């Protein structure tokens, strides 16, 4: 099986963290770089272990799907998970 190079379907930072942080960081419309940084730090610090466990479960499901599909495109993962 060819390994999908730099697949955003495989990296929790891409399919979870960046969008999650962005969705919360801008809620109060930070006006300064310091305020933005404070929000980023707060949002990341507030991520609970239970959420990370779900992200890892999702990641292992993605890996299983990739193994089963032998590296084929994965629209089911991209649009439904």
- Summarize pLDDT for 14-48 with one digit per residue, the tens: 778 888 999 999 999 999 999 999 999 999 999 99
Grade residue 8 by pLDDT with cuts at 50, 70 and 90: low
Q: Does the pLDDT at position 1 exceed 80?
A: no
Which pTM value belongs to this model?
Answer: 0.63
Angle (CA) 40 41 43, round 5°: 65
């Amino acid at each position: 099986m060819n390994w999908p190079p730099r697949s955003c379907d495989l990296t929790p930072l891409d399919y979870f963290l960046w969008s999650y942080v962005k969705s919360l960081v801008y809620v109060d419309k930070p006006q300064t770089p310091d305020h933005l940084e404070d929000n980023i730090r707060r949002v990341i610090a507030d991520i609970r272990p239970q959420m990370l466990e779900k992200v890892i479960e999702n990641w292992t499901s993605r890996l299983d799907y990739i193994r089963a599909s032998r590296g084929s495109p994965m629209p089911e993962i991209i649009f439904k998970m």
